[in-house]
Amino acid sequence: MNAITIKTVTTVDTGETIDGVTVLGDYHMNGGYDWMELIGEHGWSVIPSWGSDGWDLGQWPYVMVAGIRTADGIGNLFGMATYCEGDVTCTFYRTKARFWEAISEQAFYHWKNGQAQGPADLPEAAAELPSRYRIPSMYQEAA
């Protein structure tokens, strides 16, 4: 798969099929910083931090989470891509709430496994995260 393709996707939260969406794929040509630059040219942004206090979201340039807000004829469409040393997974959501939940799950995973600096008082499961850990950092504007 190419790093950037136009594809038909199915939203995770509503199960809708949407044509003509910019999807991110694996990128093993160069490093993470090059990936960041490339996806930026297509409307995507790497999200540097998450939660009320702006804890790290990933471990740049090896692990990153990116997002995009776009729209179709029905309404908003939110995309999330995870990058791990060139391996990329891309998912789409119709609602901002489900998009933020997916980012929060990624943040929790990286915080819990010591791959990113996160809050000291993490619960045992992502579903138990307090609301202050489930929102964009106040230091940035998330999609």
**What are the boundaries of each domain within the chain?**
4-133
Question: What pLDDT does residue 42 have?
Answer: 97
Identify whether the C-beta of residue 93 lies closer than 8 Å to the C-beta of residue 12.
yes
Q: Is the pLDDT of residue 142 over 50?
A: no
Going by C-alpha positions, the residue among 8, 30, 28 that lies closest to residue 92 is 8
Question: What pLDDT does residue 138 have?
Answer: 72
In this prediction, residue 2 has a pLDDT band, given cuts at 50, 70 and 90, of: confident
Residue 84 has which token pair? Answer: 């791990």
Q: Give the whole-angstrom CA distance, residue 136 versus residue 13.
A: 20
Per-residue pLDDT tens over the stretch 15-55: 999 999 999 999 999 999 999 999 999 999 999 999 999 99
